[in-house]
Structure 1
Amino acid sequence: MKHSTLARRQFLKMTLAASATLSSGLLSSNLFAAQQRLFKLSLAQWSLHKAFRSGEMDARNFASITRKLFNLDAIEYVNQFYFDTLSDKLVIDLKNQAKNEGIESRLIMCDREGALGDQDPKARKKAVQNHYRWADAAHELGCHSIRVNAQSSGSWDEQMKAAADGLNQLAEYCTPLNLNVIVENHGGISSNGKWLSGVMKLADNPRVGTLPDFGNFIINRETGEQYDKYQGVTELMPYAKAVSAKTYHIDKQGNEPDIDYFRMMKIVIDAGYHDYVGIEYEGDDWSEVEGIHQTIALMERVHRQLLLEANKAG
């Protein structure tokens, strides 16, 4: 996925030319959908999980909510909000609403369907099959991927082999659907960038990739053990087919004090990634809606900083 230095410079020059008139003021959310930008923004549904779970918002209206409140043009679904209501009609309704709002459905984040790296081959196969319904839904919605987890048990190597096998089994089902199977660093050993990148190498499948999340690098919540987030994202970016911009806190200056966003996005861009980056606000400092707006503003500012650096570099 890495571009050559020359190719990256040529891309940045085109981006700078297209963005010459945007040197002052905040960029509007719409402009992130423009061509030849360094990256674009999508909204991860989990950012509104409190509102959906409380009934304040209806998950069936995710696309229209995204357009009305944030004016973004791409969304990432979470299967937990449709776990007990999934049907052909629901998928068609979601698809039609997204189409009517001019919004692209990017992926479905899948949880609670079993361990794809289960050491028991039968249980592993069952977990793979449990994901089929979400793959079918993602295909109908026009998504490019389903995001899965790589839970396992056993030794380092045993977990790696089992996870790679489960991912490849699921990718076999997803390939005819033109879908990718992407893994997020999502706690436990999957938050170890060296381990998860090793799973990618072992799987060695063009349909299997990663979704680096800026914040999910806690390996053990009881002991507080964490993996270096910048090293982890660097290790996962060569396999990335999506990226999650996680924020927990936004201070009065509009920064995420626990994550150097400029450093993170530079890692992403330097890896040659210029596709959608999903906004995922999980904090309590702001309401969910305001937290999303704050994160969008942070990403806009980082985008301008990246452009300025590229301009200085020539």
Structure 2
Amino acid sequence: MSLARRQFLQTAAAGVAVAAAPRWAFAAEKVVPFRISLAEWSLHKAIRGGDLTDLDFPRVTKEEFGIDAVEYVSQLWGDKQAGSEYVAKVKQQCDDHGVRSVLIMVDAEGALGDADGAKRSQAIDNHKKWLEAARELGCHAIRVNAQSSGSYAEQLALAADGLGRLGEIADQYGLNVLVENHGGLSSNGEWLAGVMRRVGRPNVGTLPDFGNFCISGRGTPDAVWYDRYQGMEDLMPFAKAVSAKSYEFNDAGEEVQTDFPRVMKTVLNHGYSGYVGIEWEGGNPCEYEGIKLTKALLERIRDSVV
């Protein structure tokens, strides 16, 4: 059979297959500017109060909120930590409910910018189990903190050292290491951007949080804040995840403390198209309603730019 004849028959067969297949098989997935995930911290009161377990988190995320991507919080896993057997149970819950694992927010494993070199190395080592858990769950990153001490310049150098070394290890797992603005100098957008430039690794980036720009004294008259809108501009060039922190809504469904449309314009203007994680931290309404209000607001913003 000639080459031309063979190509003709292959093309004809492909056409028959297309005609026979159901129309939905070729429906293009809707292109959206960003996707929505849910941070486990949004339900920390329910989990710590015993109304939910962290194993319920994937199911509740899908069934209650219609969200199919989750972000875990290490401190809510308690003494179970990142053991392989427990991670397998979490993964099975995700598989059973069609939920994707995005990242793990890791806390209380030591200061990655500790001025004591031995303690800094220990903190790096402490994060390895979370890298293993993240890889097993199919996450793309772990979120860490950049605690340090000393002067502005000293903390920048120390944090960059710890983060860079952890980034080298994370490379072996195919994972990213992301730093959140989470108090202290990490809530100074200029400082944290400087840390990122000092590290200079493609797998070490930021997780900008809309609300965590209090450098010190939160809840006091002497609180020191970094401008959140400038902070988002500072951190978005390095962002590989975004946290949509919400505290309070008005009757129009707008978040009171942060201009969400303004912040999301910054996010999208920097070319970000990944997951935006809902992190409700308000006291009224309840966690479930706060999550729903935040999701509805993000969807309105998303739909307005599609």
Which TM-score band (shorter chain)? 0.7 to 0.9
Aligned residue in 1 for 2:39: 44
- The number of residue pairs the alignment matches comes to 274
Q: Which deviations, in whole Å up to 9, do the C-alpha atoms of 1:214-265 show, x marking residues without a partner?
A: 0000011252110000000111000000000000101111111111110000
Aligned residue in 1 for 2:251: 252
Structure 1 CA distance for aligned equivalents of residues 104 and 182 of structure 2: 15
| Shift in Å, 1:35 | 4.1
Aligned residue in 1 for 2:3: none
Which of the numbers 61, 65, 71 marks the counterpart of 1:70?
A: 65
| Shift in Å, 1:282 | 0.3
Q: Which residue type is aligned with residue 156 of structure 1? A: Y
Structure 2 CA distance for aligned equivalents of residues 189 and 52 of structure 1: 30
State the SS of the aligned residue for 2:79.
Answer: coil
Aligned residue in 1 for 2:191: 195
Which of the numbers 118, 134, 138 marks the counterpart of 1:122?
A: 118
Aligned residue in 2 for 1:176: 172
Aligned residue in 2 for 1:9: none
Aligned residue in 2 for 1:230: 229
After TM superposition, the score normalised by the length of structure 1 is 0.86
Aligned residue in 1 for 2:156: 160
Which of the numbers 96, 99, 102 marks the counterpart of 1:100?
A: 96
Question: Would you say the 8 A contact 1:262–1:306 is kept in 2?
Answer: no
**Percent identical:** 51
State the SS of the aligned residue for 1:84.
Answer: helix
Structure 2 CA distance for aligned equivalents of residues 227 and 237 of structure 1: 15
| Shift in Å, 1:304 | 2.9
State the SS of the aligned residue for 1:201.
Answer: helix
Q: Which residue type is aligned with residue 276 of structure 2? A: V
Aligned residue in 1 for 2:145: 149
Indicate yes or no: 2:272 matched with 1:277: no
Q: Which deviations, in whole Å up to 9, do the C-alpha atoms of 1:266-289 show, x marking residues without a partner?
A: 000000001110000000121100
Q: Which deviations, in whole Å up to 9, do the C-alpha atoms of 1:162-182 show, x marking residues without a partner?
A: 101100111121111111000
Q: Which residue type is aligned with residue 49 of structure 1? A: H
Q: Which residue type is aligned with residue 67 of structure 1? A: K
Q: Which deviations, in whole Å up to 9, do the C-alpha atoms of 1:180-204 show, x marking residues without a partner?
A: 0000000111000000000000000
Aligned residue in 2 for 1:27: none
Structure 1, unaligned runs of 5 or more? 1-33, 308-314
Flag the 1:99–1:225 CA change in 2: closer, same or farther, 3 A. same
After TM superposition, the score normalised by the length of structure 2 is 0.88
Indicate yes or no: 2:294 matched with 1:295: yes
Indicate yes or no: 2:131 matched with 1:132: no
Structure 2 CA distance for aligned equivalents of residues 188 and 305 of structure 1: 35
Q: Which residue type is aligned with residue 212 of structure 1? A: P
Aligned residue in 1 for 2:201: 205
Structure 2 CA distance for aligned equivalents of residues 81 and 229 of structure 1: 27
Structure 1 CA distance for aligned equivalents of residues 96 and 204 of structure 2: 31
Aligned residue in 2 for 1:82: 77
Q: Which deviations, in whole Å up to 9, do the C-alpha atoms of 1:41-96 show, x marking residues without a partner?
A: 00000000000000011111211111111111100000001131122111001111
Structure 1 CA distance for aligned equivalents of residues 288 and 129 of structure 2: 30
Q: Which residue type is aligned with residue 227 of structure 1? A: Y
Matches within 5 A, 1:54-69: 54-69=49-64
State the SS of the aligned residue for 1:255.
Answer: coil
CA RMSD between the two structures: 1.0
Question: Would you say the 8 A contact 1:118–1:163 is kept in 2?
Answer: yes
**Which has more radius of gyration?**
2
Structure 2 CA distance for aligned equivalents of residues 291 and 47 of structure 1: 8
| Shift in Å, 1:135 | 0.8
